[in-house]
Each structure stands twice: as structure tokens, then as C-alpha cells.
């Protein structure tokens, strides 16, 4: 059995205060992929990753981004964008220093696990209305940047999937994609049809990642009916209490690995040890029978 969690912790120092370590020990995962660690490597809190080997790309943006993979044993190999041994897909160069992607080859299973934090993006210029926006209009700059990332990352994922297959490994892409794929993945989806993260072109991009010979949405495969399970709720209002959330955190696996998944849970409830939510995201935990 291989238990893998994907968790956007929204700052590891804040997550530690809210009960990350208690969650870590209680869940007993073999692999934990993290996003938005938001901490310089030298300032990672002592003991927060106890029992695990840390593979971390903090990026160069202080207090932002940062992706990691925690493994029980040191991985066989580690690859980040721009590093030797990982070809850089066309269009990714502007993102390589931002701490958005890292992948490791597990030592004890023929699996490559990647952790991705995809840009949040914004609205295209024609949808921007200052009266309805919390942020100042930017003429679609954040939207266009996200779309560039999506296009480039599709090329990267094709390469990563083929590379894993040539080396006899399965590929598991985990992380915060900042896109809800279908109406089942957003509460009250009709009113969000012009919201960033649920735009038609973003959803079509997810369509292009999936297929019987490409990648499989593991949680949706195991939970084909019903809304959610949601993985993110705004801190504002009563979104969490009303379960008015979004499913934007994923396990995308190559087909053979996806077929081995037999249980998937979203750790929605507050951490019992602290009575608090560890993050505005919830961990997505999947058990694979290898």
C-alpha cells in the first residue's frame, strides 16, 4: 500500500501552529506533496517534517509559492525546472524560479510523484468589472500569464509521462491546479461561470490532460457521483460552514496507477488536536495498492 497526500498548507509556519504536525502523525502517509509552503529553506520550522526526507523548491518569491515532496526514504532522483536532467518545456522559462514544481522518483515504489502549484490567474480583460473585483483591474495580465503557464505545462506533462513510462515508472501529479474541472467541482457553479478558476478555457485545459491513455483524475474515478468532495473554502463569510467550496486540489495519475487506487478522502474537518483548520485547503489523501 502507498498512501499519498497532497496538501496546500498556505504557509507551513501558520499550518504548524494550526496542527500540521498532529495531522502528519495521525495520517501516516508514505508521501506528502505540499504546495504554498511559503518559507525560505533555512527558516523551515524544526521538527515540522520529522520522520520524512524533504525535497523542496522554495522559489525566489519571499513569502509566496514553494513546493515540496516528503518521503519516508530519500528519493532515487529529484528534478526541478531548470535543473540538469529535466528538459524545460517551451514557455516555462518565465516560471522556473517561482517554486511551482518539483518531482521525485520514489525509492520503494516504481512511481514518480510531482507536486505542482499552478498560478491562480485572473479574469480576461473583457470580464473585468471594478465594481465586482477585490483586486484592481489589470487588463487581463494575470489571466494571460496563467494561460501561458497552462499551455507550457501541458507540454511538460506529456514529456514527464513519457519519460516515466520509458523508465518503467508510473507518474502521479498532485497539487493545487487552481481550476475546478466540472460543475460537480464548484458549489453553486452557475454563478461562478465567469469566475477565475472556472472559465471555459481553463476547464477545457483539464479536459486535455485527461484520457484513457493520458492521465486520470483519481478522486473523481473513486467518487464519480455527487458534488465535490471540495478541497478549498474561502476564509471569508461562512463558505466553510456551508460547504460552499471548490475542488481544485488533485491526484492525476497514469492509468495503471489510477486503477490501483482504492480509497480517497479529503480531510475537511478541523484538526482534532487544535480544533482549527490547518489551511484554507484540505489534504487530499489517496491509498494505492501497488
Mean pLDDT for 149-163 is: 97
Structural domain harbouring 115: 2-288
Domain of 141: which CATH number?
3.60.10.10
Q: pLDDT of 241-280, one tens digit each?
A: 999 999 999 999 999 999 999 999 999 999 999 999 999 9
Report the distance separating Cα 67 and Cα 37, nearest Å: 6
Q: How confident is residue 85, by pLDDT bands cut at 50, 70 and 90?
A: low
pTM (2 decimals)?
0.96
Whether 159 has a pLDDT exceeding 90, the answer reads yes
CA 242 from centroid of its chain's CA atoms = 23
Report the distance separating Cα 151 and Cα 205, nearest Å: 8
Tally of structural domains, the chain: 1
The pLDDT value recorded for residue 52 is 98
List the grid coordinates of 270. 478541523
Which one of 30, 176, 217, 249 is the catalytic residue?
Answer: 176
Whether 198 has a pLDDT exceeding 90, the answer reads yes
176 catalytic? Reply is yes
Whether 84 has a pLDDT exceeding 80, the answer reads no
Q: Which residues contact 104 (CB under 8 A, 6 or more apart)?
A: 55, 69, 71, 75, 76, 77, 78, 79, 112, 113, 114
Q: pLDDT of 96-149, one tens digit each?
A: 999 999 999 999 999 999 999 999 999 998 887 777 767 878 888 999 999 999
Q: Which residues contact 205 (CB under 8 A, 6 or more apart)?
A: 150, 154, 179
What is the chain's mean pLDDT, rounded?
95
Whether 68 has a pLDDT exceeding 70, the answer reads yes
Whether 185 has a pLDDT exceeding 70, the answer reads yes
Q: How confident is residue 155, by pLDDT bands cut at 50, 70 and 90?
A: very high
Amino acid at each position: 500500500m502507498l498512501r499519498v497526500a497532497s496538501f496546500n498548507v498556505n504557509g507551513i509556519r501558520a499550518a504548524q501552529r494550526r496542527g500540521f504536525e498532529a495531522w502528519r502523525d495521525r495520517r501516516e502517509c508514505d508521501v506528502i506533496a505540499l504546495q504554498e509552503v511559503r518559507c525560505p529553506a533555512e527558516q523551515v520550522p524544526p521538527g515540522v517534517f520529522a520522520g520524512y526526507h524533504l525535497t523542496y523548491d522554495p522559489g525566489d518569491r519571499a513569502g509566496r509559492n514553494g513546493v515540496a515532496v516528503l518521503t519516508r526514504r530519500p528519493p532515487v532522483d529529484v528534478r526541478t525546472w531548470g535543473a540538469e536532467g529535466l528538459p524545460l518545456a517551451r514557455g516555462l522559462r518565465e516560471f522556473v524560479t517561482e517554486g511551482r514544481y518539483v518531482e521525485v522518483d520514489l525509492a520503494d515504489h516504481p512511481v514518480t510523484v510531482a507536486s505542482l502549484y499552478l498560478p491562480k490567474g485572473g479574469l480576461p480583460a473583457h470580464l473585468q468589472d471594478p465594481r465586482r473585483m477585490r483586486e484592481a483591474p489589470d487588463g487581463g495580465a494575470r489571466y494571460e500569464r496563467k494561460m501561458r503557464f497552462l499551455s507550457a505545462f501541458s507540454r511538460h506533462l506529456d514529456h514527464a509521462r513519457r519519460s516515466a513510462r520509458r523508465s518503467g515508472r508510473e507518474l502521479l501529479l498532485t497539487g493545487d491546479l487552481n481550476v475546478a474541472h466540472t460543475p460537480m467541482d464548484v458549489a453553486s457553479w452557475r454563478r461562478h461561470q465567469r469566475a477565475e478558476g472556472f472559465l471555459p478555457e481553463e476547464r477545457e485545459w483539464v479536459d486535455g490532460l485527461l484520457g484513457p491513455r493520458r492521465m486520470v483524475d483519481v478522486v473523481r474515478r473513486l467518487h464519480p457521483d455527487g458534488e465535490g468532495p471540495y478541497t478549498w473554502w474561502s476564509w471569508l463569510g461562512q463558505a466553510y460552514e456551508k460547504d460552499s467550496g471548490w475542488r481544485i486540489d488533485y491526484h492525476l495519475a497514469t492509468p495503471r496507477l489510477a486503477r490501483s487506487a482504492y480509497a480517497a478522502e479529503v480531510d475537511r474537518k478541523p484538526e482534532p488536536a487544535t480544533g482549527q483548520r490547518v489551511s484554507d485547503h484540505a489534504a487530499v489523501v489517496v491509498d494505492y495498492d501497488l
